[in-house]
Structure 1
């Protein structure tokens, strides 16, 4: 059974072949087969840009997802964020390893990772545990007129 989202389900719809031609096999596997990087292996795990240096976007469709300011060191082995740009992420219940909440790009349906609540690591009480292969850091000014919010 394919984990690939139905093309019409999201505003940015491409076939599996189109995504595969744009992404590396690892990026495609994480984004559209819901694979997970090994802890501590991703390029953004220990990357902490200054708040005004840029933002993180979906690797597949460039949808702005997280500000640099939202990134924090959770010690989990994956990039962690405490809030996302409003409307940039959607959630689904993931029962593959017990009950978890999966986070997906709201524009293309790409798998980003999982969101956890109640850990009291940040004022928002959320930790978005994101695969580096599913995002890219875009240097420069953050998107204008976009608010950040909790997802849950």
Structure 2
């Protein structure tokens, strides 16, 4: 079946999900280098078994693949290159061309491996082979990111947690439920100083400067604290079983749960879909406001401000050789 392959894409910056404007730069204003971008690409491919980099409009090949995926009922993480800042989009397209050998979008990756040209992907969809490979990939990734039991510094009985926390906060932190969209006072607040801590144990989680206003309906953050004692103050684990009907509705069953690294309290989920010059990997911690407390001052101890650390060695070892 003949289809147009190889679109010339002119990146346009739409700056969606950025009502606050450009995110505050936390680590300098220099644009990410190619090696930084490659590292972020690896992380993006780790999060979803099927990822497509394409153009939402103006590219017949991207539109054909998206349409075929929709008809086959196959979910795919779509990175809209037209929605990225132009310089980031241009660098990313250059990297994708080098990795895949394809001159233009769409670039499709299955389990960290390039799936071929648009015609190759369309053939895989129509033959049913892509769906079969996707099932095997999802099974492998589930095992690679299997939740591991861990101990926490702050441990309380459920009775103690219930007496300590308001019921809505208990339901989120200990019951892993999701508060209604737009219900938190923190959703539309973007303080320029201070920090956000875990409501359960007051552990510093996010610097105020990492918060941005998104259209999601929940407080959003792009960076988190790291400490010498705990490593990343925000823990992450594969979340394949939604805890509530709201989680099911919002499609987080196959995402990464984020939690407090000191008490294990559920915070929300992390997605990689909000790109900007200062947030090159699109990292967005979608956090329940009930799990947080805002403090106007900085944490007492000196903490690093970095991205979430979630890639296990088993995934890095299995990535396409071109990405290593």
- TM-score (ref. length: structure 2): 0.43
1:78 matched residue in structure 2:
218
2:55 matched residue in structure 1:
none
Paired residues for 1:89-108 under 5 Å: 89-95=234-240, 96=242, 97=248, 98-108=253-263
2:162 is the counterpart of 1:20:
yes
> Where does structure 1 lack aligned partners over 5 or more consecutive residues?
1-5
The superposition leaves residues 9-50 of structure 1 with CA deviations (integer Å, 9 ceiling, x where unpaired) of 211001111111110010000000001011111121011111
1:88 matched residue in structure 2:
233
Q: Secondary structure in 1 aligned to 2:268?
A: strand
1 CA distance for matches of 2:296 and 2:203? 14
2 CA distance for matches of 1:99 and 1:143? 36
> Where does structure 2 lack aligned partners over 5 or more consecutive residues?
1-148, 227-231, 243-247, 311-324
1:3 matched residue in structure 2:
none
Q: For the aligned residues, what is the CA RMSD?
A: 1.6
Say which structure is richer in helix: 2
2 CA distance for matches of 1:108 and 1:10? 5
Question: Would the aligned equivalents of 1:61 and 1:108 in 2 still touch at CA under 8 Å?
Answer: yes
- Larger CA deviation: 14-23 vs 142-151: 142-151
1 CA distance for matches of 2:272 and 2:164? 33
Paired residues for 1:114-129 under 5 Å: 114-121=269-276, 122-129=279-286
* Equivalences, count: 144
Q: Which of 125, 133, 151 pairs up with 1:9?
A: 151
Larger Cα Rg: Structure 1 or Structure 2?
A: 2
Greater relative contact order (CA < 8 Å, ≥ 6 in sequence): 1
Q: Which of 274, 279, 302 pairs up with 1:145?
A: 302
Paired residues for 1:23-102 under 5 Å: 23-50=165-192, 52=193, 54-86=194-226, 87-95=232-240, 96=242, 97=248, 98-102=253-257
The superposition leaves residues 92-125 of structure 1 with CA deviations (integer Å, 9 ceiling, x where unpaired) of 1111243110000000000000001144243342
Question: Would the aligned equivalents of 2:189 and 2:213 in 1 still touch at CA under 8 Å?
Answer: no
Say which structure is richer in strand: 1
Q: Give how far 1:143 is off.
A: 4.0
- TM-score (ref. length: structure 1): 0.88
Structure 1 moving runs of 4+ over 6 Å? none
